[in-house]
Amino acid sequence: MTEESTLPYSSDPATFDRIDELRLRKELAESGPDAAATERQYAKGKLTARERISLLLDPDSFTEIEALRRHRAVGFGLEHRPYTDGVVTGWGTVDGRTVFVYAHDFRIFGGALGEAHAEKIHKLMDLALSAGAPLVSLNDGAGARIQEGVTALAGYGGIFRRNTAASGVIPQISVMLGPCAGGAAYAPALTDFVLMVRGISQMFITGPEVVTAVTGESVTLEGLGGADIHAERSGVAHFVHDDEASCLADVRYLLSFLPQHNRELPPVAPTDDPADRRCPALTDLVPEVGTVPYDMREVIAEIADDGAYLEVHERWAGNIIVALARMDGHTVGFVANQPNCLAGTLDISASEKAARFVQMCDSMNIPLITLLDVPGFLPGVGQEHGGIIRHGAKLLYAYCNATVPRISIVLRKAYGGAYIVMDSRSVGADLALAWPTNEIAVMGAEGAANVVFRKQIAAAEDPAGMRAELVGRYARELMHPYYAAERGLIDDVIDPADTRSVLIRSLTMLRAKHADIPARKHGNPPQ
Q: Is 181 an active-site residue?
A: no
Which residue among the candidates 418, 429, 434, 449 is catalytic per the annotation?
Answer: 418
CB-based contacts of 104, cutoff 8 Å, min separation 6: 49, 86, 87, 111, 138, 139, 140, 141, 178
In angstroms, rounded to a whole number, what is the distance separating the alpha carbons of residues 170 and 263?
Answer: 9
**What pairs with residue 425 in β-bridges?**
none
Q: Is 428 an active-site residue?
A: no
Which residue among the candidates 149, 168, 182, 387 is catalytic per the annotation?
Answer: 182
Is-contact 266 366, C-beta < 8 A? yes
Tell which residue, 254, 246, 236, 235, has the closest CA to residue 189. Answer: 236
**What pairs with residue 97 in β-bridges?**
94
CB-based contacts of 172, cutoff 8 Å, min separation 6: 134, 135, 137, 163, 166, 190, 191, 192, 193
Is-contact 417 377, C-beta < 8 A? yes
Q: Is 182 an active-site residue?
A: yes
Which residue among the candidates 110, 132, 235, 417 is catalytic per the annotation?
Answer: 417
Element (H, E) at 371: strand 368-374
DSSP state of 5: G
Which pairing describes strands 309-312 and 320-327: parallel, antiparallel, or unpaired?
antiparallel
Q: Is 216 an active-site residue?
A: no
Distances (CA, A) of 58 to 103, 125, 199: 16, 20, 27
Tell which residue, 418, 423, 422, has the closest CA to residue 403. Answer: 423
- What are the residue numbers of the active site? 182-183, 417-418
